[in-house]
Amino acid sequence: MHGMQVSALHDDFGVAVSGVDLNDVTADRLYPEIRALFETHSLLLFRNQSLSDAAHLALGELFGPLEDRLDRPKPEIAPVANVGEDGSIIATERDMRLLNLKANFLWHTDSTFLPVPALANILRARSLPDRDGNTEFASSRAGFARLPKSVQGRLRRTVFKHRYSHSRRKIDPELAQGAQFHKWPDQVWRAVWRNPVTGAESLYVASHVCAVDGVEDAAAQAFVDDLVTGMTGPDHVYSHQWKLGDVLIWDERAILHRGTPWPYEQKRDLASICVSLRNVDGLAEMRA
């Protein structure tokens, strides 16, 4: 494996990968091994990397088409940062940009509200506060496997409806009114994702789930909340303490994640790329 070594991040999921410079990864060199680890372990950590924006984009394209939300001339790196366009730090509690970042503190899966959701997120640290601001992860594959067989069977017959503004309304009703959160109609996805490579099943859920087919609204939200709570207990979570040079890659089909607070007067800038799903990744089977 070209000198690649792996070590576990958590008993349920995730590996740290060493002996790899992500700048050297091509379709034929290293990527096949990385993709195999991705399919099996769901979360990959690479330390001491020095990816440029161009190299970051090129790495994402190996996994599939880069996500296009139709609001930019072409797909590009998305900053996850408390920094305005002028470089100033956003620390005002009522600033909508900061409130939107706080919506990421909810357990979620990226882009389930899009007509084509995300296969993977590739996230790297560009600037960090002196403390806090971890990103936390839990396996919805391991969580699904822990559920009683009767609940698994019910979920295989269940359909979730996803809405972008729904997760933002949990943070602030005014935030949820933003036009960017109403650009797409509700998306409907099956609740259980079967990995076409490994055959493993995972719960496909997010903070964006606004309804469960055939279930009254209040009961539906309680059902979803109970599922997420069960999958994200302290023993089931890997909390990543960022260091400059870290790159995380995770499988959106099998991982829940969330951000955590930090001192907002300090800059925190992570660079994110989402890669869109294709039918080869199991997308067609998820359409209800």
Q: What is the DSSP string of 209-253?
A: EEEETTS-HHHHHHHHHHHHHHHSSGGGEEEE---TT-EEEEETT
Domains defined for the chain, CATH in brackets: 5-286 (3.60.130.10)
Q: What is the pLDDT of residue 2?
A: 65
Please determine, for residue 51, whether its predicted confidence score (pLDDT) is greater than 90: yes
Please determine, for residue 146, whether its predicted confidence score (pLDDT) is greater than 70: yes
Pick the range with the lowest mean pLDDT from 35-44, 66-75, 205-214, 269-278. 66-75
Q: Kindly report, residue by residue over 207-222, the tens digit of the pLDDT.
A: 999 999 999 999 999 9
Q: What is the pLDDT of residue 167?
A: 97
Residue partners of 68: CB distance under 8 A and separation at least 6 = 74, 75, 276
Q: Kindly report, residue by residue over 3-46, the tens digit of the pLDDT.
A: 899 999 999 999 999 999 999 999 999 999 999 999 999 999 99
> How many helices and strands in the chain, by DSSP H and E?
9, 15
User: Coil, strand or helix: which one is 28?
Assistant: coil
Tell me the C-alpha distance between 272 and 56, whole Å: 9
Q: What is the pLDDT of residue 74?
A: 72
**Average pLDDT value over all residues in the chain:** 95
Does the predicted TM-score (pTM) go above 0.85? yes
| Position 159 confidence tier, pLDDT thresholds 50, 70, 90 | very high
Please determine, for residue 169, whether its predicted confidence score (pLDDT) is greater than 80: yes
Where is 63: in which H helix or E strand? helix 53-63
Please determine, for residue 69, whether its predicted confidence score (pLDDT) is greater than 80: no
56, two tokens:
């970051």
| Position 285 confidence tier, pLDDT thresholds 50, 70, 90 | very high
Residue 257 φ then ψ, to 5°: -145, 165
275, two tokens:
């890669």
Across 234-241, average pLDDT: 98
Across 182-188, average pLDDT: 96
Strands (E), 22-88: 43-46, 78-81
Across 53-78, average pLDDT: 86
Please determine, for residue 1, whether its predicted confidence score (pLDDT) is greater than 60: no
| Position 75 confidence tier, pLDDT thresholds 50, 70, 90 | confident
- Determine what percent of the chain is predicted with pLDDT higher than 90: 92
